[in-house]
């Protein structure tokens, strides 16, 4: 199974030259999902040579601007580029009204179908999307507006391969690969069961540990809190993202998380992670 994650934006609410606001592309056996869409995300999609029209499934964690304000522009560009295929948008309730209002008041429209899956869950984990290559489950996390974490499971493609000499058919026996994304959230250990069994767990890490009071007030995590959640959830690898613009060098955050969960990386814009091997390359 091929399962790649491309980081388009690893910063928090304030974009900088090094860290843009939150957006990622998940690629499961060639099926691509856009995960959050901040202002500037469509520019990053083009910069990384990802085909715009290949992103027919979009997951939005919450409606804060640094995760959502790029969506109307992206949908509009897809229209301008001649899209006819539907786009599925999984987002908290209200996303449809925002998009339809923007298009209505600005005289814009799209010629393809927008399929909204609006989430309005108070608790639990819910299947919000599936296709032959992956499933997506969403669970509410803890933030100042309704916000959801996503658990994306890459399915064994069950392709039947032919052995040249015998022509016998056999099934592949790969186990699923799981990527879990939690951004933005405050510290809450009741979320741990939804993170367990992840190969890669991406947690926001907006602040260093000395700003724990600010993290609580704004409902974000510190690096140490992210490390503690990872220690409880035990993924193969922890990825810290949503890094505040105040941290030019993320080593402080990395050290605080690693003290509690050694297998930790800090996300960087342009980074590509292959989830089977956890091999990583940087494109910027
Ligand atoms: Zn955010
Ligand atoms: Zn937020």
Question: For residue range 74-117, what is the model confidence (pLDDT) as tens digits?
Answer: 999 999 999 999 999 999 999 999 999 999 999 999 999 999 99
**Which of 36, 43, 66, 251 is an active site residue?**
66
Q: How far apart are the CA of 61 and the centre of ligand 1, in A?
A: 9
pLDDT computed for residue 264 by the predictor: 98
Separation between Cα atoms, residue 250 and residue 11, nearest integer Å: 11
Ligand nearest to the backbone CA of 36: 1
Percent of the chain with pLDDT over 70: 93
CB 143 within 8 A of CB 62: yes
Q: Positive or negative, the Cα torsion across 191, 267, 223, 71?
A: negative
Ligand nearest to the backbone CA of 66: 1
Whether 164 shows a pLDDT value over 60: the answer reads no
Ligand nearest to the backbone CA of 204: 1
Average pLDDT over residues 38-56: 96
Q: Give the tens place of pLDDT for each residue, 213-245.
A: 999 999 999 999 999 999 999 999 999 999 999
Whether 163 shows a pLDDT value over 70: the answer reads no
Confidence of residue 157 (pLDDT cuts 50, 70, 90): low
pLDDT computed for residue 156 by the predictor: 75
Confidence of residue 127 (pLDDT cuts 50, 70, 90): very high
Separation between Cα atoms, residue 27 and residue 63, nearest integer Å: 23
- Strand 57-59, strand 87-92: pairing: parallel
CA gyration radius, the chain: 19
pLDDT computed for residue 173 by the predictor: 55
pLDDT computed for residue 158 by the predictor: 53
Return residues with CB closer than 5 A to ligand 1 (ion).
66, 184
pLDDT computed for residue 166 by the predictor: 37
pLDDT computed for residue 168 by the predictor: 41
User: Euclidean distance between the first and final Cα of the chain, in Å?
Assistant: 26
Whether 66 shows a pLDDT value over 80: the answer reads yes
Q: How far apart are the CA of 72 and the centre of ligand 1, in A?
A: 18
Q: How far apart are the CA of 67 and the centre of ligand 2, in A?
A: 7
pLDDT computed for residue 281 by the predictor: 79
User: Which CATH homologous superfamily contains domain 3-282?
Assistant: Ribonuclease Z/Hydroxyacylglutathione hydrolase-like (3.60.15.10)
Percent of the chain with pLDDT over 90: 90
CA dihedral defined by 23, 145, 149, 19, rounded to 10 degrees? 30
User: Is 66 one of the annotated active-site residues of the chain?
Assistant: yes
pLDDT computed for residue 283 by the predictor: 59
Return residues with CB closer than 5 A to ligand 2 (ion).
64, 184
The domains of the chain are located at: 3-282
Average pLDDT over residues 59-80: 98
Helices (H) and strands (E) in the chain, counts: 8, 17
Confidence of residue 1 (pLDDT cuts 50, 70, 90): confident
Ligand nearest to the backbone CA of 67: 1
Q: How far apart are the CA of 79 and the centre of ligand 1, in A?
A: 27
CB neighbours (10 Å) of residue 231?
Answer: 15
Q: Is 214 helix (H, G, I), strand (E, B) or coil?
A: helix
| Predicted model pTM | 0.93
């Amino acid at each position: 199974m091929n399962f790649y994650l491309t980081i388009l934006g690893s910063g928090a609410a304030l974009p900088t030259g090094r860290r843009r606001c939150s957006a990622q592309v998940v690629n499961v056996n060639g099926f691509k999902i856009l995960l959050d869409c901040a202002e500037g995300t469509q520019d990053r999609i083009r910069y990384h040579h990802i085909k715009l029209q290949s992103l027919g499934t979009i997951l939005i964690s919450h409606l804060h601007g640094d995760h959502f304000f790029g969506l109307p522009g992206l949908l509009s560009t897809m229209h301008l580029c001649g899209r006819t295929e539907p786009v599925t948008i999984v987002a908290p309730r209200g996303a449809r009204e925002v998009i339809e209002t923007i298009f209505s008041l600005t005289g814009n429209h799209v010629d393809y179908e927008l399929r909204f899956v609006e989430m309005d869950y108070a608790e639990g984990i819910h299947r919000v999307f599936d296709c032959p290559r992956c499933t997506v489950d969403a669970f509410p996390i803890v933030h100042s507006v309704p916000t959801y974490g996503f658990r994306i499971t890459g399915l064994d493609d069950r392709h039947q391969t032919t052995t040249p000499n015998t022509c016998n058919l056999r099934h592949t026996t790969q186990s699923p690969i799981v990527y879990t994304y939690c951004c933005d959230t405050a510290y809450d250990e009741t979320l741990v069961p939804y993170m367990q069994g992840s190969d890669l767990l991406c947690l926001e890490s907006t602040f260093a540990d000395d700003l724990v009071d600010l993290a609580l007030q704004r409902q974000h995590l510190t690096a140490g809190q992210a490390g503690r959640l990872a220690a409880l959830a035990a993924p193969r690898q922890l990825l810290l993202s949503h890094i505040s613009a105040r941290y030019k060098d993320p080593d402080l955050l990395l050290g605080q998380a690693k003290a509690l969960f050694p297998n930790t990386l800090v996300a960087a814009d342009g980074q590509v992670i292959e989830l089977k091997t956890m091999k990583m390359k940087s494109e910027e």
